[in-house]
Structure 1
Amino acid sequence: KLKALLVEQLTAPVRWAETMASVSDAGVTQVIEIGPGKVLAGLAKRAMRPEKLVNLDRLEQVTAFLEVQV
């Protein structure tokens, strides 16, 4: 069963548009991308037009962000 689940995870299409629509419909207004690059944040910006978009690609940025949020 695990093998079948892994194969499905790797071969199934990504349902990005549906996911972003659900997130937007749920009232999410902020997007935070943690990790290198800004691809997902850019896609989210175009798909749902969040009020706030943050990209954190270094540990120091994540730490500083969390300190402000708490």
Structure 2
Amino acid sequence: MNYLTTKELSLIEDELRSEQLLAKTFNWCASQCEDEEIRSLLEQLAKTHQLNIADLSQYFNRSQMIQ
């Protein structure tokens, strides 16, 4: 099994925070948008970042990976 170092986990945590900020920003922008096509695009972008959050969060749920 491959183990992640503390530094690697820290970088993943930083990326997780970035993804959360992007998802929230795109959702907020979508809520302010009156154009349906642009709103749909913004919602899709937010969804993509939310999926990235779920993927990155898996690393924090595996405490045995910390070296």
Task: Please report the TM-score for the alignment, with normalisation by the length of structure 2.
Answer: 0.27
Higher helix share: 2
Larger RCO (CA within 8 A; separation ≥ 6): 2
Larger strand percent: 1
